């Protein structure tokens, strides 16, 4: 039981905060569309006539391919025929509700029409039904372990980028950050991923972290003026918060905090913030001490880093209390730190 309590406390100390949703910044113009390119159509099998409707004797898989091809063609018209495209993708969905491509097609249509909540849900459904993740929850699908066939664009990794962009337009930067972190290993050297990641951080007021992401995006695409503009704006904001961060850091050095579950006030343990940067946490009734992480204040937010597989934990400092919000891939936990 002690080990389980300690492990639970470990998870609590690692993620990011719901309170950040109240910090969504409105000074970034252009939205994620400033960065995000038009989503690619779902792929279909090569055909002599990809838009031809097949006879009633063909099997269901061919009918699905035809419906998706018709949806793609309607979307690509000038101007787009969204109504026909939606009918075609919905037909494909009815023929095979476990094929991710109809959901991807619908998500693209909703993105094109700026119906971002509907786009986000469609992309979630697409990821859910990707090969290798059938029947599993989106949040626990193991990224990269179930490769798609060559040249397929409807893979889990890319659709998560589509989903993150939709969540950014929906003013849900934390949701976008979680999706982007899920594919960080595969996309760390992708300029668009870094720019979207920086945008998600900046939208939460985490400008210092955003600067690092934008710098990587600019390094990867040095001629991209959009990325340069976002980097300049975030750098200015980060400089404005620097002096205040130093004052908060001095105030938190060598302090000990009692950690409580914010929903029922149960004491979960204590954490000590050492002056040189490391932090040590100990759960109630457990001999387990966590001392391999570091703490840092950036943009007025306390962050715990490098301790566990979950890469970060953030809290809003309010005098003798810290409002800590923790996220895993599929759950959220809010804790209250009280200074001892």
Every domain of the chain and the residues it spans: 2-16+251-339, 21-240
pLDDT computed for residue 309 by the predictor: 53
Global confidence as pTM:
0.74
pLDDT computed for residue 16 by the predictor: 36
The CATH architecture of the domain made up of 2-16+251-339 is Beta Barrel (2.40)
pLDDT computed for residue 262 by the predictor: 85
Looking at CATH, the fold of the domain delimited by 21-240 is given as: 1.25.40
**Helix/strand/coil (H/E/C) assignment for every residue in the chain:** CHHHHHHHHHHHCCCCCHHHHHHCCCCCCCCHHHCCCCCCCCCCCCCCCCCCCCCCCCCHHHHHHHHHHHHHHHHHCCCCCHHHHHHHHHHHHHHCCCCHHHHHHHHHHHHHCCCHHHHHHHHHHHHHCCCCCCCCCHHHCCCCCCCCCCCCCCCHHHHHHHHHHHHHHCCCHHHHHHHHHHCHHHHCCCHHHHHHHHHHHHCCCCHHHHHHHHHHHHHHCCCCHHHHHHHHHHHHHHHHHHHHHHHHHHHHCCEEEEEEECCCCCEEEEEEECCCCEEEEEECCCCCEEEEEEEEEECCEEEEECCCCCCEEEEEEECCEEEEEEECCCCEEEEEEEEC
pLDDT computed for residue 311 by the predictor: 58
pLDDT computed for residue 8 by the predictor: 41
Note down pLDDT in tens along the chain; length 340 residues: 333 334 344 434 433 333 333 444 444 445 676 677 788 888 887 654 544 555 544 577 889 999 999 999 999 999 999 999 999 999 999 999 999 999 999 999 999 999 999 999 999 999 888 744 444 333 322 222 233 333 344 466 788 889 999 999 999 998 899 888 888 777 778 898 999 999 999 999 999 999 999 999 999 999 999 999 999 999 999 998 888 888 999 999 999 999 998 888 889 889 899 987 888 888 887 666 666 678 889 898 998 876 555 556 889 898 899 998 877 666 777 889 999 9
Q: Do domains 2-16+251-339 and 21-240 have the same CATH topology?
A: no
pLDDT computed for residue 236 by the predictor: 93
pLDDT computed for residue 44 by the predictor: 85
């Amino acid at each position: 039981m002690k080990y389980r309590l300690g492990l639970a406390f470990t998870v609590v100390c690692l993620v990011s905060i719901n309170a950040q949703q109240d910090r969504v910044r409105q000074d970034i113009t252009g939205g994620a569309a400033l960065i995000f390119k038009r989503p690619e159509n779902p792929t279909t099998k090569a055909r002599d006539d990809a838009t031809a409707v097949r006879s009633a004797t063909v099997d269901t898989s061919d009918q699905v391919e035809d419906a998706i091809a018709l949806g793609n063609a309607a979307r690509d018209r000038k101007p787009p025929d969204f109504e026909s495209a939606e009918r075609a993708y919905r037909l494909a969905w009815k023929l095979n509700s476990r094929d991710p491509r109809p959901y991807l097609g619908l998500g693209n249509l909703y993105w094109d029409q700026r119906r971002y909540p509907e786009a986000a849900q469609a992309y979630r459904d697409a990821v859910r039904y990707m090969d290798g993740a059938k029947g599993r929850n989106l949040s626990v699908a193991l990224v990269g372990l179930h490769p798609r066939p060559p040249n397929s664009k409807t893979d889990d990794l890319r659709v998560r980028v589509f989903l993150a962009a939709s969540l950014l337009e929906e003013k849900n930067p934390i949701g976008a950050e979680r999706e982007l972190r899920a594919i960080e290993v595969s996309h760390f050297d992708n300029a668009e991923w870094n720019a979207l990641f920086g945008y998600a951080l900046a939208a939460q007021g985490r400008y210092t972290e955003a600067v690092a992401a934008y710098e990587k995006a600019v390094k990867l695409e040095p001629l991209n003026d959009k990325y340069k503009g976002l980097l300049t704006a975030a750098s200015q904001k980060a400089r404005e918060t620097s002096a205040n961060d130093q004052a908060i850091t001095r105030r938190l050095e060598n302090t000990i905090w009692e950690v409580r579950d914010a929903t029922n006030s149960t004491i979960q343990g204590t954490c000590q913030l050492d002056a040189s940067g490391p932090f040590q946490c100990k759960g109630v009734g457990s001999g387990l001490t966590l001392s391999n992480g570091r703490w840092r204040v950036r943009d007025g937010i306390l962050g715990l880093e490098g301790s566990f597989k979950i890469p970060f934990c953030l809290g809003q400092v309010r005098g003798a209390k810290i409002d800590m919000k923790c996220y895993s891939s599929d759950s959220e936990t809010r804790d209250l730190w009280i200074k001892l």
